Chains A and B, each alone.
Chain A
Amino acid sequence: MLEGKFDQASLLKKIIDSIRDSVKLCNFNCSQNDGITVQAIDDSRVLLIALKMDPGCFQEFRCDRDMVLGLDLESLGKILKQGNNEDYLTLIAEDNPDSLLIVFEDKKKDRISEFSLKLMDIDSDVLTIDDMDNDCSITMPSADFSKIARDFKTMSESLQIIVTKESVKFKAEGQIGSGSVIFKPHTDLDNPDESIKIDMNQPVNLTFGAKYLNDIVKASTLSSTITIKLTDKAPALFEFKLPSGYLRYYLAPKFED
């Protein structure tokens, strides 16, 4: 049996809102030690989502036996809308379940809402992702990166990320012209999350699809910082930390034809 209780329904709502435009169907893998993990690839095979909700994400978590819950995220999203952000949210599944029970509890009133979501058999490719040695790692405020991804998408289909020891530069070239934003490393002692950290072994210059970056920055609601790991001629890793665990996106780059 699985029973996972979130202190705030908003955490799961934000997570599902961050991934459901990229993947529609995915398997939630549940286990006592790892909590709930998800790996899902978008239909175009350009973006991979790796989610890890450790047991620490939950106020209470038990999973007696490993289980896989096949979920339609659009349907799950419909149910999650029914609860309030501050509610307790509990996911309950029996062993070998054909449905997932979702319970919202209001913290002040004696109101309990219960929903049952039908589960699906989802056959999806699982990819092996080894820990990569990265050429660069950038940690910056997620709101800043989100603004760049959203603004530059109006100018160009691609966003170039150029990292040197001194700076990270985001650059877009479109029909109407071009633009760039440069950030230099900076430590904000009063607000550490406002700091910009650049670790560089080798400079990189990579280009990514603006459409995918716009999907990725939907997760900015989950964390005030984002870590971007870049390696020449390899997929980039965009990571948002959860209270315990992470939401990672791996994005394949664009290359000169």
Chain B
Amino acid sequence: ARKQSNLMSFFKKK
């Protein structure tokens, strides 16, 4: 099965 990744692990909060 594939797991959905999260945007927060790629982009930093401003």
Binding site for B on A (CB under 8 A): 41, 44-48, 125-129, 158, 207, 209, 234-235, 250, 252-257
Complex: A127 Cα to B2 Cα, angstroms = 25
State the Cβ distance, B8 to closest chain A Cβ, in Å.
6
B13 touches A125 (CB 8 A): yes
Known contacts A125-B13, A127-B13; decide if A48 and B3 are in contact (CB<8 Å).
no
Residues of B within 8 A of A257 (CB): 1-3
Binding site for A on B (CB under 8 A): 1-14
Residues of A within 8 A of B6 (CB): 45-46, 252
Complex: A191 Cα to B14 Cα, angstroms = 42
Known contacts A127-B12, A128-B14; decide if A48 and B2 are in contact (CB<8 Å).
no
A255 touches B14 (CB 8 A): no
Complex: A41 Cα to B5 Cα, angstroms = 14
Majority-rule SS of B interface residues: mixed
A235 touches B3 (CB 8 A): no
Number of A-B contacts (CB under 8 A): 55
Residues of B within 8 A of A125 (CB): 13-14
Q: B2, B3, B9 — which one has the most chain A CB atoms within 10 A of its CB?
A: B2
Q: A45-B8, A252-B5, A254-B3 are in contact. List 20 more A-B contacts (CB 8 A).
A: A41-B7, A44-B4, A45-B6, A46-B5, A48-B7, A127-B8, A127-B11, A127-B12, A128-B12, A128-B14, A207-B2, A252-B9, A254-B2, A254-B5, A255-B5, A256-B2, A256-B3, A257-B1, A257-B2, A257-B3
Residues of A within 8 A of B11 (CB): 48, 127-129, 235, 250
Q: Return 28 A-B CB contacts under 8 Å, by A number.
A: A41-B7, A44-B4, A45-B7, A46-B4, A46-B5, A46-B6, A47-B7, A125-B13, A126-B13, A127-B7, A127-B8, A127-B13, A128-B13, A129-B11, A209-B4, A234-B10, A235-B7, A252-B5, A252-B9, A252-B10, A254-B3, A254-B4, A254-B5, A255-B3, A255-B5, A256-B2, A256-B3, A257-B2
